[in-house]
Amino acid sequence: MAADPAAAAAASAVAAISAVMDWRSSPDARAAAFAYLESVKSGDIRALASTSFLLVQKDQASEIRLHGFKMLQHLVRLRWEELSAAERNEFANLTINLISDVVGPHEVWALKSQTAALVAEVVRREGVALWNTLLPSIVSLSNSGPIEAELVTMILRWLPEDITVHNEDLEGDRRRSLLRGLTESLPQILPLLYSLLEKHFVAALSEHSKQQIDLAKQHAGTVTAVLNAVNAYAEWAPVTDLAKHGLIHGCGSLLSYSDFRLHACEFFKVICQRKRLVDVAVAEYDAAICNIFQVLMNISQQFLTRSGMQPSSIDESEYEFATCVCETMVALGSSNMQCILADGARTFQFLKQMLEYYQHYKIALHFQSLLFWLVVLREPSKAKSVARVSGDNFTAGNSASTGDLSTEKEKKGVSLFVTDEIYSTILDVSFKRMLKNSGSASSGLLELWSEELEGKSDFCNYRTKLLDLIKVIASQRPVIAAASIVQRINVVFGDANQATKSPRDLDAMEGAQLGLEAVVSAIFDGSADYGKTDLEMKSQLHKIFEGILQQLLSLKWTEPNLAVIHGHYLDALGPFLRHYPDAVASVVNKLFELLTSLPITFQDPSNNSRLARLQICSSFIRISRAADKALLPHMKNIADTMAYLQGEGRLLRGEHNHLCEAFLVMASSAGIQQQQEVLAWLLEPLNKMWTQVEWQTAYLSDPTGLTNMFADSQFMWSIYHTVTFFEKALKRSGIKKSTTTPQAPTTTAAPGYLHPISSHLAWILPPLLRLLRCIHALWAEPFAQSQTGEIKAAKSMTVAEQASLLGETGKLTKGQVAPADGLLEVQRDGESKENNIKNWLRGIRDSGYNVLGLAATLGEAFFRCAEASSVTLALMENVQVMEFRHLRQLIHLVIIPFVKYCPADLWQVWLGNLLQPLFVHCQQALHYSWSSLLHEGRAKVPDSIGNLSGSELKAEVMEEKLLRDLTREVCSVLWALASPGLNSGLPSLEQLGPSNRMDSLKNLESFASSSLTG
């Protein structure tokens, strides 16, 4: 009775599937066909079942059958419970009968896989009972031939994979029940897998020797399928069971065969990533791991020997396999090192091979070994002081020969076996690999890191790992690390008297500088251990670093790139200077010598010299931070030199700001009184200029006045540098705050504490607010229409902002330098006025917002000093014409700090007036933009993107990014408003209690006064 309707439904489904897959179908036809198929899947379940079973019949095309299997899987996964028990039983039987339809020699592999997946779906739905019934029949089927055996192993593979991979469709109880059933079946499953592996591997070799290639391929396909199944069981089956039933031995035997070695190695990798469980039989487990260890060591040694003797004979497939072996050994050493450490000779052999991988030419092998050394050398870090008692000359060989050191081994782990030679070798390789493969940096001895490496982190992350390893070794073997880095520096410096260096040499020198910084910071920087180091080691370290310091002081480099590197080498020694301050005066004098050796040039399009000068000034900041109080006795000398250079016109304003910032860092180590004096000294000349009524009247009365300032480039950039120094003063002065952001509007210091800059806010803020108000008004009518073309163009995005939104990191070209780099003093020759104004506007907005946000962190000192009405007027008067990028910046840098730090009794005065217009505008703007994106496919934002060379797609990407960024920032404001610290008066829902909820809600009014959201 149902045959004809079922056949008709199947024919309709076939036509719909064909229409969906036919590229010649019109969009409407394809959409209609897709809708029909969805209606079948959601319609009558019995019709779905009958139609789908007709679709998977052998007389259908492969594409139709595949779709039919997908529909059957959909039914089992999502609608199984709608069938009665009898119907589910019938469905299961029909599914099992499908196995015979896909065992033909020419059957498509995808159909076999989907059949196996369907059987697994049914089994996991029906549970252990069906599995126990099915198991004997599939065991019997596996004996029929290679194709049947392949299908059986696919089924065996899918079942545990559904357990180990999180699947929301498989409930916890059913997962546990199925896992229990599979575990109970392991005595049948694992021997079956081993016998199939052995049987078909032997058969594949035999048929191949007889030139029966097709049969050999069938057997080889079965071997691969078995290995895939075995790998699925390796994730959860007891390791001792895998060993007992021969699978470790079987997979180990296949490591020598190119067709199977990657799959076999994956089996060992999965096992090695598992750690020994508490309830496992220790002796049996360790024996299995040791067996795996020996298998891996043998195959690894074969590769390393060939690689060392005949590297040209190894192709990429062998390197791929070697990488998998190395990764497996890393997993073994990271998760099961206790099994290796039980035998000293075995441990030395293992470490020797891992060191060879670290030294290897191929970066992929080196990278895997890097992960191993990071793990194992970090282990003894808690026992650094033990290792230092005997200095750097402790050798593992003296103790490894004894057999009663298990307790010591447990405490110190691998460090007991790592010799000084191993440490030195690792450091040597690490310093050499600090380079990136490029046109300027390449090495015939090493394959350097490159972008083509798949699955690896970017170069910065890779180099961070190298530096972490260097720091770990330096903290354990400081003298060895110090000697190694000095040796590397001498190599990369070459002829120190050479006036210029090649790009490759510069890259090598920069890499060695990073190594020096890592070593010095690990030994000296903030480490209480250095004070406990014995005198002999201190003497050795002092001699080594004093030697490199004298070498640096004697250099006479004047080329900009070399001068920058020279300054970085000097500031890398900052932590050393903290403990040995006698050399500080020489370093300071050398930095000033470097600075004055470079000319001030405004005509140089590349800015090399000016950028170098700015970098050298930055070195003062880094040394001040690292050397701590060691620079305090030299503050007057530095101040006198600054004044002299400024008087001679040999110190630019941006450079002066950097040196003043260094002064603030120095003063921060001397206490609040010293900070106040230094800050007053630094701010006094700015006060005189900043508070003058004349310039404010001329330029800040309205936006037209501000546009007149754009004609005076020198004064314009003077204002910029003044604002940026206010920002630096807020960042660098005061007591050192915790890195944790406070959630409550409380001060970060003790009662009575007054931040050194608090007394200056009264004169800093009013002109700044007027300046920001004028900038905001440039986007408002009528001023926006009356502006010149240059000013209108200057309000569009900078190239740096465009690149940031697009995720591009390309270098900026001439005229596109962001003002934050401190390079811009006046308009440079060749630079357009448009770019000059654009950079200035961005820089003032960045620093101005930062000043307000940082000032807000002072709490009452700011909120009771500033006029709330003036702040609200400056920030919110033209909020409705703000571009999304500016609005996001305002919220992030200003509004959120205001919310977090505003005193409770001023919430209404400050936050009420600020947030109301902000939220009204954001709600309207975001609603409009999101609606445009959802209904028209493009986010309409008010931002002026600028010239993108006609790329419409880039503009769409940037618009959506702007919309998402602003939305995320508005959510951050709401999160801050709702944070517990600002709503301490509100009880939690648990405290309100479930009973009489309405009465509880009425009581909330009593908490409103102490809660921001109340």
pLDDT tens string 749-807: 455 568 899 999 999 999 999 999 999 999 999 888 889 999 999 999 988 888 888 88
Among 83, 100, 122, the domain-final residue is 83
Q: Note whether residue 376 is domain-resident.
A: no
Q: Is 95 in contact with 118 (CB distance < 8 Å)?
A: yes
Q: What is the number of structural domains in the chain?
A: 5
Q: Is residue 363 part of a domain?
A: no
Residues 953 and 807 in one domain: yes
Q: List, for residues 317-334, the tens digit of each pLDDT value.
A: 999 999 999 999 999 998
Residues 990 and 384: their CA atoms lie apart, in Å, by 48
- pLDDT grade for 131, boundaries at 50, 70 and 90: confident
Tell whether 294 is covered by a domain: no
Which residues partner with 3 through β-bridges? none
**Is 811 within the bounds of a domain?**
yes
147-165 pLDDT tens trace: 999 999 999 998 886 666 6
Q: Please report the sign of the dihedral spanned by the C-alpha atoms of residue 231, residue 233, residue 235, residue 238.
A: negative
| CB burial of residue 65 (10 Å; 0-12, 13-18, 19+) | buried
Question: Structural domain of residue 2, as residue ranges?
Answer: 1-83
Q: Which of 670, 691, 718 is the C-terminal boundary of a domain?
A: 670
| pLDDT: which is higher, 897 or 627 | 897
C-alpha 71/C-alpha 332 separation (Å) is: 42
Closest to 99 measured CA to CA, from 129, 144, 141: 141
CA distance 14 to 671: 82
DSSP 399-465: HHT-S--HHHHHHHGGGGT--HHHHHHHHHHHHHTTSB-SSS---SSS--B-TT-TTPPPHHHHHHH
CA–CA separation, 911 and 383 (whole Å): 52
Indicate if 913 and 1009 belong to the same structural domain. no
Read off the pLDDT of each residue in 221-231 and give the average, rounded to a whole number. 96
Q: Are residues 212 and 116 in the same domain?
A: yes
The yes-or-no verdict on residue 17 having pLDDT over 50 is yes
Q: Which tens digit of pLDDT belongs to each residue from 634-662? A: 999 999 999 999 999 999 999 999 999 99
> Is 70 exceeded by the pLDDT of residue 256?
yes
Would you state the pLDDT for residue 25? 87
Which of 128-142, 416-430, 521-535, 616-630 has the weakest average pLDDT?
A: 521-535
Residue 565 to residue 571: CA distance in whole angstroms: 10
8 A C-beta contact, residue 197 and residue 146: no
Q: Which of 118, 41, 117 is nearest to 82 (CA)?
A: 41
Specify the pLDDT at position 218: 93
| 812 and 844 share one domain | yes
pLDDT (0 to 100) of residue 743: 40
Q: Which band of pLDDT confidence, cut at 50, 70 and 90, is reported for residue 405?
A: very low
The predicted pLDDT at position 396 comes to 38
| The residue to which tokens 């019997």 are assigned | 140
Domain boundary among 43, 65, 83: 83
The amino acid present at 556, given as its one-letter code, is K
* pLDDT for the residue 208: 93
CA distance 662 to 664: 5
How many of the other CB atoms lie within 10 Å of CB of 341?
A: 21
Q: What's the average model confidence in pLDDT over 199-215?
A: 94
Together in a domain, 603 and 711 = no
Instruction: Give dist(CA 284, CA 275) in Å, integer.
Output: 14
Amino acid residing at 294: Q
Radius of gyration for the chain, computed over Cα atoms and rounded to the nearest angstrom: 36
- What is the distance between the alpha carbons of residues 633 and 348, in angstroms, rounded to a whole number? 52
Q: Is residue 859 part of a domain?
A: yes
In a domain, 166, yes or no: yes
Task: Give the bridge partners for 449, in sequence order.
Answer: 436
Are 609 and 718 found together in one domain? no
- 997 found inside a domain: yes
The residues, any chain, with a CB within 8 Å of residue 141's CB and separated by 6 or more, are 99, 148, 151, 152
The residues, any chain, with a CB within 8 Å of residue 13's CB and separated by 6 or more, are: 36, 37, 40, 51, 55
Same domain flag for 978 and 858: yes
Cβ atoms of 292 and 332 closer than 8 Å: yes
Residue 22, pLDDT above cutoff 80:
yes
- Nearest alpha-carbon partner for 397 in 381, 423, 416, 413: 416
Per-residue pLDDT at 811: 42
pLDDT of residue 397: 38
Q: How many residues does the chain have?
A: 1014
Q: What is the DSSP letter of 501?
A: -
The closest alpha carbon to 828, from 842, 815, 812, belongs to 815
Closest CA to 458 of 804, 961, 809, 813: 809
Residue 427 lies in a domain: no
For 216-225, what is the mean pLDDT?
A: 95
Give the other-Cβ count within 10 Å of 726's Cβ: 25
pLDDT higher for 999 or 31? 31
User: How far is Cα 423 from Cα 811, in angstroms, rounded to an integer?
Assistant: 38
656 and 701 within one domain:
no
Instruction: Say how far apart CA 929 and CA 138 lie, in whole Å.
Output: 59
Cis peptide before 605, with omega less than 30 degrees from 0? Answer: no
- Burial class from Cβ neighbours inside 10 Å (0-12, 13-18, 19+) for residue 810 reads exposed
Sign of CA dihedral 30, 35, 41, 45: negative
pLDDT exceeds 50 at position 571: yes
Nearest to 182 by CA among 253, 118, 232, 248: 232
Report pLDDT digits (tens) over 363-386. 999 999 999 999 989 865 444 433
State the pLDDT at residue 992: 55
- Name the residue type at position 764: I
- Going by pLDDT thresholds of 50, 70 and 90, the confidence category of residue 401 is very low
Relative orientation angle of helices 261-272 and 316-335, to the nearest 10 degrees:
20
User: What is the model's pLDDT at position 998?
Assistant: 54
Query: Which phi and psi (to 5°) does residue 436 adopt?
Result: -110, 140
Mean pLDDT, range 296-309, rounded to an integer: 94
Both 50 and 90 in one domain: the answer is no
pLDDT(387) > 80: no
Q: Report the range of poorest mean pLDDT among 313-327, 494-508, 891-905.
A: 494-508
Pick 604 or 559 by higher pLDDT: 559
Q: Is the pLDDT of residue 995 over 60?
A: no
Residue 890 has a pLDDT of 98
Cβ-count burial 787-800 (b if 16+ within 10 Å, e if not): beebbebbbbbbbb
**Three-state SS for 663?**
helix
Percent of the chain past pLDDT 70, that is, above it, reads 86
Query: What is the reported pLDDT for 950?
Result: 57
Regarding whether 74 and 94 lie in a shared domain, the answer is no
From 414, 510, 410, select the one nearest 467 (Cα to Cα).
Answer: 510
Query: Are 365 and 323 contacting, i.e. CB atoms less than 8 angstroms apart?
Result: yes
pLDDT at 168: 54
pLDDT > 50? residue 1006? yes
Contact assessment for residue 955 and residue 945, using Cβ atoms and an 8 Å cutoff? yes
pLDDT at 166: 52
Nearest to 838 by CA among 820, 865, 852, 854: 820
User: Which of the residue ranges 274-283, 472-481, 975-984 has the most confident prediction, judged by mean pLDDT?
Assistant: 472-481
Contacts of 407 (CB under 8 A, 6+ apart): none
Shared-domain flag, residues 61 and 109: no
Question: Which residues does 501 contact at the CB level (< 8 Å), separation at least 6?
Answer: 509, 559, 561, 562
Q: What is the CB-side half-sphere exposure of residue 364 using CA atoms within 13 A? A: 17
Q: Return the pLDDT at 404.
A: 41
Q: Residue 707 in contact with residue 945, Cβ under 8 Å?
A: no
Please give the mean pLDDT across all residues of the chain. Answer: 86
Question: For position 1004, what pLDDT does the model report?
Answer: 54
For the entire predicted model, the pTM comes to: 0.81
Do both 997 and 946 map to the same domain?
A: no
Q: Tell me if 889 sits within 8 A of 849, measured CB to CB.
A: yes
**pLDDT of 400 above 50:** no
- pLDDT at residue 746, rounded to an integer: 40
Residue 111's pLDDT band (cuts 50, 70, 90): very high
Q: Which of 359, 360, 371 shows the shortest CA–CA distance to 335?
A: 371
pLDDT classification of 461: cutoffs 50, 70, 90:
confident
pLDDT of res. 974: 95
